[in-house]
Amino acid sequence: MKIEKSGYDVWGRSRTNGTKILVPPYLENAFKDMMNETGISIKVLRRNIKSVVDRSRKARRQNTRRFIGTSKNSFDFDRFLRYEEIINFIHNLVRHSKYAEIINIGNSFEGRPIIGLKIEGSKNIPKIFIDAGIHAREWAAPITALYLMKMMVDHEDTLHEKISIYVIPVVNPDGYEYSHTVDRFWRKTRSRIDGTECVGTDANRNFNSHWAEFGASPDPCSDIFPGLEAFSEPETQAIRDTILAIEPDLYLTFHSYGPMLLYPWGFTKSLPSNWQELDKLAKIAAHKLKQLNGQDYTIGSSANVLYLASGASDDWAMQVAKVPLVYTMELPDYGEGFITPIEKIKPMVRETYKAFKVFVKYVCALRHINCS
Ligand SMILES: [Zn+2]
């Protein structure tokens, strides 16, 4: 069924929870008929998603305060930030840090700088690379990356010269801004190609690892269009070049929604050679995370927990860039899909930080460094 091109919006597919689809009101009856004919059972999870979007907009307006001041603590993680605010947030952190520096890894299709933060020590210490926001509508991801940045700077005296950490909070700033201003559920980049009115590539299908083989559509109008060729997008080129230059010990990429902590592969149901290490570490991280708010995470390989999809950054990082430890973290949805309720931001980012600390401790311990 060509569900991607016909006005429906696939929000999530999972082996255990079925497929979640946003159905526009004008297609409701047609959708029901189609499901009846195919014998697929359906359950309505939420009737009026627009009301959720409206409520989230209203909350954002109420919580908007200008925090572009002098204190690094003036933003309280009580709303989602626009891209310009995120840049200001990073500049503020750097201003109040001894070791943190801004990294600019390239420009988006529309010319926005793709920036982040690093705390870098000498060459022979372990390195962690984190990114978020490759999928525009998954706002839970960038806000979590920002919180990790803030905690990095708060603890920089302990971390410095023990571990180097690099964070890019919004890989796809064009899409992110578009999801704020025009279409809340925009997923792709905003690149244009000749011969079609349809805009954007699924950047997380654009990496050169079994590119366009699974979980992608050649239709440029599809939400899972992988581009005309691998690394067609300046955003994925920037991530590729950065990972190749850093050679991290661990790569963590934030998405929503899950909650799931996934390791490669996405292109096959077979598992990487170190899957037992990946699985064990994920379980420890999820256990620590759960202690804070009781949040449960599903753990496993992408293809086994979700579905076959290739050309994603996590598979590429492990297969081509040879990063030994790679995770995709699908943050919780709290029953609202991509519209993370703003009162859930704080519990979400804090519990994620618990998992992050487990990763930090582990990569340090591999080199006999104590980073706790
Ligand atoms: Zn995603």
Q: How far is CA 247 from CA 100, 149, 280, 315, in A?
A: 19, 20, 23, 15
| Least reliable range by pLDDT among 10-14, 99-103, 199-203, 338-342 | 10-14
The CATH topology of domain 56-366 is Aminopeptidase (3.40.630)
Tell how far the Cα of 141 is from the centroid of ligand 1, in angstroms. 9
* Cα separation, 168 vs 241, whole angstroms: 13
> Is the pLDDT assigned to residue 1 strictly greater than 50?
no
> Is the pLDDT assigned to residue 20 strictly greater than 50?
yes
Residues 204-227: pLDDT tens digits?
A: 999 999 999 999 999 999 999 999
Residues 162-169, mean pLDDT to the nearest whole number: 98
Tell how far the Cα of 287 is from the centroid of ligand 1, in angstroms. 23
> Is the pLDDT assigned to residue 140 strictly greater than 50?
yes
Residues 162-172, mean pLDDT to the nearest whole number: 98
The pLDDT, as a whole number, for residue 21 is 87
Question: What is the rounded radius of gyration, in angstroms, for the C-alpha atoms of the chain?
Answer: 20
Q: Are 97 and 156 in contact (CB under 8 A)?
A: yes
Which residues are CB-neighbours of 226 under 8 A, at least 6 positions away? 201, 202, 205, 206, 211, 212, 216, 217, 311
The pLDDT, as a whole number, for residue 115 is 98
* Cα separation, 319 vs 209, whole angstroms: 7
Tell how far the Cα of 158 is from the centroid of ligand 1, in angstroms. 32
| Least reliable range by pLDDT among 38-47, 119-128, 325-334 | 38-47
Query: Per the residue annotation, which of 330, 336, 343, 351 is the catalytic one?
Result: 330
Where does the pLDDT of residue 4 fall: very low under 50, low under 70, confident under 90, or very high at 90 and above?
Answer: low
Which residues are CB-neighbours of 76 under 8 A, at least 6 positions away? none
Tell how far the Cα of 283 is from the centroid of ligand 1, in angstroms. 21
The pLDDT, as a whole number, for residue 312 is 98
The pLDDT, as a whole number, for residue 5 is 54
The pLDDT, as a whole number, for residue 70 is 42
Tell how far the Cα of 52 is from the centroid of ligand 1, in angstroms. 20
Q: Are 327 and 255 in contact (CB under 8 A)?
A: no
Residues 332-364: pLDDT tens digits?
A: 999 999 999 999 999 999 999 999 999 999 999
Extract the tokens encoding 339: 């519209």
Residues 43-70: pLDDT tens digits?
A: 888 888 877 787 777 766 666 544 444 4
Tell how far the Cα of 128 is from the centroid of ligand 1, in angstroms. 20
CA dihedral 239, 240, 245, 251 (to 10 degrees): 70
Compare 197 and 7 and report the one with higher pLDDT: 197
Taking the domains of the chain in order of start, what are their residue ranges? 3-45, 56-366
Give Cα 10 distance to the centre of its chain: 17
Q: Give the count of beta carbons closer than 10 Å to the beta carbon of residue 40.
A: 11
Question: Average pLDDT over the chain, rounded to whole?
Answer: 92
The pLDDT, as a whole number, for residue 3 is 57
- Reply yes or no on whether 330 is catalytic: yes
Closest CA to 163 of 116, 125, 122, 123: 125
Closest CA to 256 of 349, 147, 346, 329: 329
Which residues are CB-neighbours of 19 under 8 A, at least 6 positions away? 10, 12, 13
Residues 250-303: pLDDT tens digits?
A: 999 999 999 999 999 999 999 999 999 999 999 999 999 999 999 999 999 999
* Cα separation, 23 vs 11, whole angstroms: 10
Pairing of strands 325-331, 250-256: parallel
Closest CA to 312 of 211, 171, 161: 211
* Cα separation, 102 vs 110, whole angstroms: 21
Residues 64-108: pLDDT tens digits?
A: 544 444 454 579 999 999 999 999 999 999 999 999 999 999 999
